[in-house]
A and B are shown apart, each in its own frame.
Chain A
Amino acid sequence: MKPQWQILVVDDEEIMCESLAAWLREDGYLVDTASSGREAVELAKKTDYAIYFIDLKMPGGMDGIDTLMEIRRFHPDASIIIITAYATVDTAITAIKEGAQEYIVKPCNPEEISLLVNRIIKVKKLQRENLILRKKLQRRYQFHDIISKSPRMLEVLELAREVASLRSTVLIRGESGTGKELVARAIHFSGSRAQKPFIAVSCAALAETLLESELFGYEKGSFTGAAERKKGKFELADGGTIFLDEIGDIGPKLQADLLRVLQERSFYRVGGSEEVQVDVRVIAATHKDLRALVDEGKFREDLYYRLNVIEIHIPPLRERREDIPLLAEHFVERISHELGKPVDEIAQDAMRLLMDHAWPGNVRELENAIERAIVSCRGRTLTAEDFSFLRNNGPAKIQIPDNLTLAEMERLMIEATLRRTAGNVKEAAASLGIDRSTLYEKLKRYGIER
């Protein structure tokens, strides 16, 4: 049985519409008809037709070319055939220029239409097969939620697989948004601890005292507001893995406490005297150069060596551009499903734009960009227009005052973004293309009040 390809026939003459529709239905196609350009556009918004037959001359202020152009806005790759009763070179050229795939003069030979439809459907079938194969290939390049075909990333994933079954501490380095937590999760869920908890803690998000009680828990009455004993993240992660993000941001006291946990596998709750034993694998991550912090005396060397038993460095997205199409297609599939808004693909011009972008916020920025594009897109294909915000945010439009240091500019940018998001850190971080913990760290560094 033939696949149920859908065709839309658009003509203000009902008999023309219906008779062609009936003829195409005999060929097994699902055919809808529209008596005006506007009706056609409305139908095309809801359905991605394989082929559109559109009459050139239609009343009501929207002729075949207008209809074609409007449909092209949200189905850039649609196969559109313009029909007319009179062949003139001018209209043929206009139709093809505006993106019509074919131009036919009615009445035409049945063989001509049959060959035309078969040829288009053959191409559509190949495109569909191509999509299926690309998805299969994507799965081949997938390790848990990490997708890559970059040789450098594949080495990272291979290392992650190898260390998954070990208990050794892992230090993951990489810029914000490169997916450090995803790699940590992949290590946890590939190893023998997969059935036990995975607890993630952002060390940059909390003040030192709060972080201490967050990590180690506290005893009842240990401080004002400690109404009852509370377990810390280390206890909650017992048997599993604790992921300490932005480890480079912790102060000297916590560095000492953490060293003790790594050495002794035990700790004391805040305000407690009872030693708590835990079996926890530690995976730490940072975007900072910990070695440099050690050299500057800001990070304990003994802790550095304890953490850096196995080091994994995740390259930034700009250094593995071959992953952009894979990741973009993966995000389209996942986010369109999550949002309940069907989007099938990314048009070539949009993909070129994504390939050319610098992605300072790495994979997270790409993910946010895809989500924003899906929210604003009107069809089932993401076009360059849907990513226009990437162009608008380009460096050419930024006004840089004179005598400004890089740090001052960063501070101004963060303040401006927070004003725009009314102090919403999550939204601001997404807009800046960095994660929340990095933004918290920067707020702390620059003394910015929310």
Chain B
Amino acid sequence: MIVLGLFELRTPEDRALPPAVIPAMAEALESCLPVRVAGLKPVDAPPGALDARRGQWSAPALLETVLATLPDGIPRALGVTGADLFIPMLSFVYGQAQLKGRAGVVSVARLRQEYYGLPGNEALLVERARKEAVHEAGHLLGLVHCPSPGCVMRLSVQVGQIDLKGEAPCPSCAARLREVLA
């Protein structure tokens, strides 16, 4: 079984992650992927990763933070943050992971209903967070985007697309995963 670290990446202006998010992610990861989740202590995101002009945090910089904080015996990990993430080319990303690599980050900032001016819905936030955690962990294990509508590995560029997909890999991605891990 593959060990996957999971921890909160705290940023100063963050609203704290709802307590249910990380345990729900761990549960989704263990039920949908062949991984055992190791809960790790929260880590503060380096202030240098904040782009003050954009008011967003750099996903590549936070990936470096995840890599730098991997403890012994934990080969790969996902950092979870409430901060809004970007890469220089794109206006935002829900998360980013090294393909078949060691570090990934997931942001819940745009998974909140409040971001879109709607009343908060923690259950929906948790459901979305579970899917995004499995999606980024899938990349860490070597899966790429999948065209199947219900597959968790389908690319989402709008929050509605996250709601439409399931939280598990489709049979084809599951088979691909077995192939990659073999």
**Given known A-B contacts A83-B89, A110-B90, A110-B93, A26 and B59 have beta carbons under 8 A apart:** no
What 20 new A-B contacts, CB under 8 Å, besides A15-B88, A27-B144?
A: A13-B88, A16-B89, A19-B60, A19-B87, A19-B89, A22-B96, A23-B90, A26-B96, A26-B139, A26-B144, A28-B145, A83-B89, A106-B88, A107-B86, A107-B88, A107-B89, A110-B91, A113-B89, A113-B90, A114-B155
CB of A31 to closest CB in B, whole Å: 10
**Inter-subunit contact B60/A26 (CB<8 Å):** no
Taking a contact as CB atoms closer than 8 A, the residue among A22, A28, A83 that contacts B98 in the complex is A22
- Evaluate contact between A18 and B60: CB separation under 8 angstroms: yes
Could you say which residues of chain A place their CB within 8 Å of the CB of B97?
Answer: 26
Interface string of A96-135 (1 = CB under 8 A from B): 0000000000111111011000000000000000000000
Residues of chain B contacted by A108 (CB below 8 angstroms)? 89-91
* A-B Cβ contacts below 8 A, count: 70
For the side of the interface on A, what is the size category? 20 to 34
Residue of B nearest to A1 (CB): B176
Q: Is B40 an interface residue (CB 8 A)?
A: no
User: Does A20 interact with chain B (Cβ within 8 Å)?
Assistant: yes
Task: Give chain B residues whose Cβ lies under 8 Å from the Cβ of A19.
Answer: 59-60, 87-89, 96
A108 to B99 CA separation, bound complex (whole angstroms): 22
Q: Choose one: A15, A20, A28, A110; the contact of B92 (CB below 8 Å).
A: A110
**Shortest CB–CB separation between residue B19 and chain A, in angstroms?**
29
Over the window 155-182 of chain B, the binary record of Cβ atoms lying under 8 Å from chain A Cβ atoms (1 yes, 0 no) is 1011000000000000000001000000
How far apart sit A23 and B97, CA to CA, in the bound complex (Å)?
8
How many Å lie between the Cα of A16 and that of B91 in the bound state? 13
Contact between A114 and B157 (Cβ–Cβ < 8 Å)? yes
Q: Determine if A445 is an interface residue (Cβ-Cβ < 8 Å).
A: no
A61 to B54, CA, bound (A): 30
Q: Smallest CB–CB gap between B31 and chain A, Å?
A: 22
Contacting residues, chain A, for B144 (C-beta < 8 A): 2, 25-28
- Of residues 64 through 112 on chain B, the ones whose CB sits less than 8 Å from some CB of chain A are 86-93, 96-99
Tell whether, in the assembled complex, residue B157 and residue A26 are in contact, meaning their CB atoms are under 8 Å apart.
no
**In this complex, what residue of B is CB-closest to A28?**
B144
Residue of A whose beta carbon sits closest to that of B59:
A19
Question: What residue of chain A has the Cβ atom nearest to residue B136's Cβ?
Answer: A26
Chain A residues, CB < 8 A from B86: 107
Q: Which of A1, A13, A83, A109 contacts B157 (CB 8 A)?
A: A109
- Chain B residue nearest to A20 (CB atoms) is B89
Q: In the complex the two chains form, what is the Cα distance from A15 to B86 in whole Å?
A: 12
- The B interface is mostly helix, strand or loop, or mixed, namely mixed
CB distance from A102 to the nearest CB of B (A): 13
Most B CB contacts (10 A, CB to CB) among A22, A28, A83 go to A22
Taken together as a complex, chains A and B put the C-alpha atoms of A440 and B124 apart, in Å, by: 87
Q: List 26 A-B contacts (CB under 8 A).
A: A13-B88, A15-B60, A15-B88, A19-B87, A19-B88, A19-B96, A22-B87, A22-B96, A22-B98, A22-B99, A23-B93, A25-B99, A26-B155, A27-B155, A106-B88, A106-B89, A106-B90, A107-B86, A107-B88, A108-B91, A109-B91, A110-B91, A110-B93, A110-B157, A113-B89, A113-B90
Name the distance in Å between A394's Cβ and chain B's nearest Cβ: 48
Q: Interface readout for B115-158 with A: 1 if CB under 8 Å, 0 if not?
A: 00000000000000000000000010000110000000001011
Closest residue of chain A to B179, judged by CB?
A1
Chain B residues with Cβ below 8 Å from A109 are 90-91, 157
Nearest Cβ distance between residue B52 and chain A, in whole angstroms? 15
A residues 1-38 with Cβ under 8 Å of B? Answer: 1-2, 13, 15-16, 18-20, 22-23, 25-28
Nearest CB of chain B from residue A74's CB, rounded to whole Å: 26
Complex contact A107–B91 (CB within 8 A): yes
Chain A residues near B99: list those with CB within 8 A.
22, 25-26
Q: With both chains docked as a complex, state the minimum distance between the C-beta of B158 and any C-beta of chain A, in angstroms.
A: 6
Distance in angstroms between the alpha carbons of A179 and B93 in the assembled complex = 61
Docked-complex contact A27 and B88, CB < 8 angstroms: no
Chain B residues contacting A110 (CB-CB under 8 Å) are: 90-93, 157
Give the Cβ gap from B30 to chain A, nearest Cβ, in Å: 22
Given known contacts A19-B88, A27-B144, A111 and B93 CB-to-CB distance under 8 angstroms: no
